[in-house]
Each structure stands twice: as structure tokens, then as C-alpha cells.
Chain A
């Protein structure tokens, strides 16, 4: 892969949970404004890997990391780097929608407020823009002051995406964002991901291979903590180079 437009790069990344070597020598280059999917059987380390990208593993006890994760060529594990700053640039959406028990408006405005934006007009425009980018505005614009907990699962998940967009990240990490949603809500999130890549870079962990094939530009297949194959999504699903990948995506193991 050419080095142009590389927004995130791991170099010899290793991670241990105590004695458990969970990520082994992962080298990966991710392009800006593309969707990269991480696939692999349960426990292969894909969620652990995606959590490395914005230092979400920092808080886990016994977790030790070696190697580099370079965001715009700067190692985010460098002691001089502030993890809060990193997470502002690299947002995350989780498996289960987790809105704050506040109004829809407050869910979105929370991040910008923490960053010191208090101007009502400015906040209004951020809320509108984020909800529009997350394809939720049409559905909720007349009830912004209702509780976010009253939204459906799919809407809650799009709200979480809108919430991460409010602080204008460059990368959005998604850890199985559709696994708790019904097919219609899933289709909406997939359409949304396709839209998002015009402005953001998306890295997504998914258990659904067809989903990876549908929405991603590049796919990485992981197994037992190692990166087995990484390449163009079309190639991976039509003609994988590695036998392990072939076996996994055709359901012969995993």
C-alpha cells in the first residue's frame, strides 16, 4: 500500500494482558477517507487492536503495549501525548448504544461543552450538523429535548455516532456497531458509514463478513492476535491469498 494518505499506522504493535500475548507484531497502514474492516473469529484480538488506536486499553490493568501506533506519523503512545487529545481526534462507537441519560440535545452538546464551547447558537449548529451527518436529524429535530433513552436502538446508535462527530474527529472507530441492531437499523448505519467516509476515516470491527464486504474498502483478517492478511476488500472476499483467510470467510472454521 502506498504511503500517501496514510492516517494511522501501526508498527510492530504488541500487546499483553498480563501473560497473555493478545496482539503480536501487527503492522497495518490505514488510509484516510476509507473504511477499513477488521474481521476474525472471537478472541482473535480485533477489538483489542481497535482499542489501541485511541488508547482505550490504558485503563485496563495488566495491559502492556510495545510498538508504535502512529497517527499522522506521530506515535500516540509517546509520553508527551495527551490521551484526551487523541480521543478527541479518534472517536469511538461501541457495540451497544450507550447514550447519556440526558436529552438528545445534551448528548450531542456534551462533548463541545467540555471543550469550552458555551455559545448557544454555536452549540445549536453543532447539534444540527452532527445529527444531520449521522442521518438522524429528520427523525428527531422536533424532539431534541426528549430523553435519548426513549429512542429506538438503531436511533440510539446513530445518536452515539452523532455524539462522536460533534467534536469533529478525524477517525471514527466502530466496535461491532450493528450487532445489537435489527436489519433495518443495520442498513441505515451501513448507509451512514458510506456517507461518513467522505469526511472521516472509519475503522470498523465486525463479525458479519457480508457487512465487511459491503461497506469496507480494505479488510484485515486477524487470527490468534496476528494479522494474517490485509488488503483490498474485493480481493480478500473474492480471492484471498492466505489459506487461513479462505477457510475463515467460507465458514470452514472459526
Chain B
């Protein structure tokens, strides 16, 4: 019975990784579609919205079934707790991809205000964070999380620079206001995705070690990049 449980848990973990890479692809492709104003690619992303939501439901169902049947303990319980959170975060990330993809047709006629640089760069970092989280979830290697604070900082800075840049364009020329507002929103979405990746990392860290931590930007940069603030139990 216990062996069967571990087999089933392994299967659910595989499902989560599959879902994770779909979420990553949705986000990645949405930004690529935006960059190249590629409506076909954008449609692929929006079409996958239902698929990722179904995966979320399916994983939740399977996980709840495992809890009911086997009442898992220790690492198994932590894995299950982690999965239940991960699938929510991944679904959110996928949906942000869809939200970004929905802007693509808007640029069809007007083209971009200028060549996109910061947004694709942000997306690249966020996708890396998602990949690192998924790999850690798969093999338990949490060492990559050491970079997360720095990455998240960079993402925050990029978002702010997009905001400032857009402001100056809008002041210069009211015709770009609609498009610039979209850029600002997209920056915000990507920043949220980085937050979700950090949350995922925290849950995976808990799964592996049993410690609850927070990936947090602290004022004193003398500390290691990955500041684990232990939450009060």
C-alpha cells in the first residue's frame, strides 16, 4: 500500500512539473508573441488557458485523494502541501501569460512604441526562476535559490524603469498612452510572476528542509543574497 502511495505521489509530482513547464512556456511565448507581434503564437497561449486550469484541477483532485487514502506524514506530507500551493502559483503564472498574449492584437496596427528590451529581459529572468524552482522541486537541489533575491531585485528594478520610461513617452506624445499603459501592466504582470516564483521556492524549501522561510529583500546587502527569514512557528 505504501509503495503504491509513493508511486502515485511520484506521478503527481511529474504532473506538476509538466504543468510548470506549460506555465513557463505560456509566459515565454506570450512575451515572444508580443515582441514580434505574432498573433499565432499569442493564440497558442490563450488557447492553453483552459488546459492549464484543467491541470490545476486534476492535480488538486489527485492530491486530495492521496491525503484521504494515505494520510501522509513528514516529507510526504510536506511534498503534498507544496504541490497544492505550486499548482495554484503555476496556474496564476500561466494566466498572466494569457493576459499578456491578449494585448498582442492591440499592437497589430500601431506597432511598438520602440523596440522592446526591458520586457523580454524581465521575462527571461522570470522564466529562469520558474525553471530553477521546478528543477529544485524535481531533484531537491535548493542551492539555486541563493540567487533569487538578486533576481527578484532585478525584476523589480526593471519594472520600475519600464514605468519611468513609459511615463516620459506619454508626456511627450499622448498617442502612445494606450500602448504605454499596456507596457506598464505587462511589467506589473511579470513582476507578479517573479513573486510567484519566489513563493514557489519558499514552498519547495519547506518541502525539502521542513523549515519555513521567506525570500525577502533586506536593507543590509552585506548578508547572503538568499536571506532566509525564519517565520515564527
In contact, B74 and A239 (Cβ under 8 angstroms): yes
Q: Is A250 an interface residue (CB 8 A)?
A: yes
Contact of B2 among A210, A240, A252 (CB under 8 A): A252
Main secondary structure of the interface of B (DSSP, over half): helix
Q: Taking the nearest CB of chain B, how far is it from the CB of A218, in angstroms?
A: 16
In contact, A239 and B73 (Cβ under 8 angstroms): no
C-alpha gap A253/B85 in the complex (Å)? 28
In contact, A249 and B74 (Cβ under 8 angstroms): yes
Q: Is B44 an interface residue (CB 8 A)?
A: no
Chain B hits for A240, CB < 8 A: 74
In contact, A237 and B73 (Cβ under 8 angstroms): yes
Q: Is B232 an interface residue (CB 8 A)?
A: no
Instruction: Convert B1-35 into 0s and 1s, putting 1 for each residue whose CB lies closer than 8 angstroms to a CB of A.
Output: 01001100000000000000000000000000000
Chain A hits for B210, CB < 8 A: 238-239
Chain A hits for B77, CB < 8 A: 237-238
C-alpha gap A238/B212 in the complex (Å)? 12
C-alpha gap A210/B69 in the complex (Å)? 12
Q: A238-B78, A238-B210, A239-B210 are in contact. Are A209 and B73 (CB under 8 A)?
A: yes
C-alpha gap A251/B69 in the complex (Å)? 14
Q: Is A217 an interface residue (CB 8 A)?
A: no
In contact, B75 and A246 (Cβ under 8 angstroms): yes
C-alpha gap A215/B162 in the complex (Å)? 55
C-alpha gap A110/B5 in the complex (Å)? 48
Q: Is B72 an interface residue (CB 8 A)?
A: yes
C-alpha gap A249/B70 in the complex (Å)? 12
Max chain B C-beta neighbours (<10 A), residue from A209, A238, A245, A249: A238
- What is the chain B residue whose CB lies nearest that of A236? B74
Chain A hits for B72, CB < 8 A: 250
C-alpha gap A209/B74 in the complex (Å)? 11
Q: A238-B78, A238-B210, A239-B210 are in contact. Are A213 and B2 (CB under 8 A)?
A: no
Contact of B75 among A210, A213, A250 (CB under 8 A): A250
In contact, B75 and A251 (Cβ under 8 angstroms): no
Chain B hits for A250, CB < 8 A: 2, 72-76
C-alpha gap A251/B6 in the complex (Å)? 9
Chain A hits for B76, CB < 8 A: 250
In contact, B71 and A238 (Cβ under 8 angstroms): no
Chain B hits for A251, CB < 8 A: 2, 5-6
Instruction: Convert B72-89 into 0s and 1s, putting 1 for each residue whose CB lies closer than 8 angstroms to a CB of A.
Output: 111111100000000000
- What is the chain A residue whose CB lies nearest that of B71? A210
Instruction: Convert A224-242 into 0s and 1s, putting 1 for each residue whose CB lies closer than 8 angstroms to a CB of B.
Output: 0000000000000111100
Query: In chain A between 186 and 211, which residues have their CB closer than 8 angstroms to a CB of chain B?
Result: 209-210
- What is the chain A residue whose CB lies nearest that of B1? A251
Chain A hits for B5, CB < 8 A: 251
Chain B hits for A210, CB < 8 A: 71
Q: Taking the nearest CB of chain B, how far is it from the CB of A219, in angstroms?
A: 11
- What is the chain A residue whose CB lies nearest that of B210? A239
Chain A hits for B2, CB < 8 A: 250-252
Q: Taking the nearest CB of chain B, how far is it from the CB of A174, in angstroms?
A: 21
List, sorted by A's number, 6 A–B pairs whose CB atoms are closer than 8 Å. Answer: A209-B73, A238-B74, A239-B74, A246-B74, A251-B6, A252-B6
In the complex, besides A237-B73, A237-B74, A238-B74, 7 extra interface pairs with C-beta distance below 8 angstroms are A237-B77, A238-B77, A238-B210, A246-B75, A250-B2, A250-B73, A252-B2
Closest 7 CB pairs of A and B: A239-B210, A251-B2, A249-B73, A210-B71, A250-B76, A246-B74, A237-B73
